[in-house]
Amino acid sequence: MTTTTKIAFIGAGSVVFTQGLLADLFAFPELKDAHIALHDIDPERLATAEGAARHIAGVRGARPRITAHAERRAALEGADFVINIVQVGMGEATRTDFEVPARYGLRQTIGDTLGVGGVFRALRTFPVLASLGADIREVCPDAWLLNYTNPMAMNVQYLTQATGLTRVVGLCHSVYWTIRDLSELLRVPHEEVTYRAAGVNHQAWVLRLEHHGEDLYPRLDALIADDAQLRRRVRVDMYRRLGYYPTETSEHSAEYVPWYLHHDGEIDRLRLPVGAYLGIVEENTAEYERTRAALAGGTPLPVEGTMEYAPQIIHSVTTGTPRTVYGNVPNHGLIDNLPATGTVEVPCLVDGTGVQPTRAGALPPQCAALNRTYLSMNDLVVRAALDDEPRHIRQALMTDPATAAALPVERIWELCDDMVKAHSTALQPGLREVLGA
């Protein structure tokens, strides 16, 4: 007798992302009859997600059991896999993350990983992760928790330290798409490229890039030397100075270092779109509305796969098919010159036994230096929540490279007070204190 695989989507109202994941899942014959349990706290978004799931199943020729749950524990009951795509506060909270710092003259592009935006996105997400972890321990303790919610590294560190869960993997498409983009740039088939990357989420490094045994970095160097427009990208600028290509976009990468956003000339030279994520928020909302209207009107929706890692992991664990994916996991001896308590991004082997991170050894020292600053800030944010210590929030942003480059310490503390006031109801009670400069 076979057992149906149960996959719970927490935050399924992120409909566009849910649709892509379901399209990937139903592309696998072995998962066409899975139990898909959808949960969201917004009834309208939950109903839209359910309608989209049923449509995609029909297009893919799948016959899953699809259930929708306003109550989270019901969705989690007996789950084999939990996909977390929660965004606490949605677009309104994101606008606050940009508008309040902007009044202080602090520039952000995406604001979901480090900096003021990343810190407060984490702090309002941690209480949800704590209760989610408690529910998983009680109703599906053997489930794999596959987290997509940003800030990835902080959330995975908090989940593992605050909840005691061990089957937690953070998933992001940045390594995959970086290699795809480099392959296209270098005009080599992606499937023929051998690569290895390691570091931290959104700031990992392409340590090896080869085509049939040929090191592709010299080819990349030649392209950059001949193309002035390529040199007007932050990640290319970082690569030229650090020697290894970073695995996130220029918009993201600019926020994690002190060198770019504080300088008008660098914003112009590198074409940095300050506040870019607000446009993405608007487009995501518009895309959701289009999806909802299409379902209500009976208009067929496009069904496209996303090549995300979660469906691949679920397929490998349930069928024993071996794969390699990139995962964000606790650094238990995986990268020698990064803190043991931090979350690192490394290749992971996946098969019927689960997800097994592989050891990367030591990073190049210049890469590790940047990653250590990133992880030090993460650690202070997680400690703020674990220890109920509001001073750690301020100290984290004093440590953050882009924030420290733009503001003196008194202004950092004043900004934190304003952000605490703005997000107060979403924060755990012990972190709502206003400390003053």
Q: How many residues does the chain have?
A: 437
Query: By the 8 A CB rule, do 36 and 66 touch?
Result: yes
Task: Given the residues 35, 173, 211, 263, select the one marked as catalytic.
Answer: 173
Contact criterion met (CB below 8 Å) for 222 and 265: no
CA distance 225 to 380: 40
Smallest CA-to-CA distance from 266 within 119, 368, 111, 405 is with 405
Which residues are within 8 A (CB) of 89 and not within 5 positions of it... i.e. 6 or more apart? 96, 124, 423, 426
Whether 173 is a known active-site residue: answer yes
Q: What are phi and psi of 42, to 5 degrees?
A: -100, 110
3-state secondary structure the chain: CCCCCEEEEECCCCHHHHHHHHHHHHCCHHHCCCEEEEECCCHHHHHHHHHHHHHHHHHHCCCCEEEEECCHHHHHCCCCEEEECCCCCHHHHHHHHHHHHHHCCCCCCCCCCCHHHHHHHHHHHHHHHHHHHHHHHHHCCCCEEEECCCCHHHHHHHHHHHHCCCCEEECCCHHHHHHHHHHHHHCCCHHHEEEEEEEECCEEEEEEEEECCEECHHHHHHHHHHCCCHHHCHHHHHHHHHCCEECCCHHHHHHHCCCCCCCHHHHHHCCCCCCHHHHHHHHHHHHHHHHHHHHHHCCCCCCCCCCCHHHHHHHHHHHCCCEEEEEEEECCCCECCCCCCCEEEEEEEEECCEEEECCCECCCHHHHHHHHHHHHHHHHHHHHHHHCCCHHHHHHHHHCHHHHHHCCHHHHHHHHHHHHHHHHHHCCHHHCCCCCC
Residues with Cβ within 8 Å of 285's Cβ and at least 6 positions away in sequence, in order, are: 91
User: Which residues carry out catalysis?
Assistant: 173
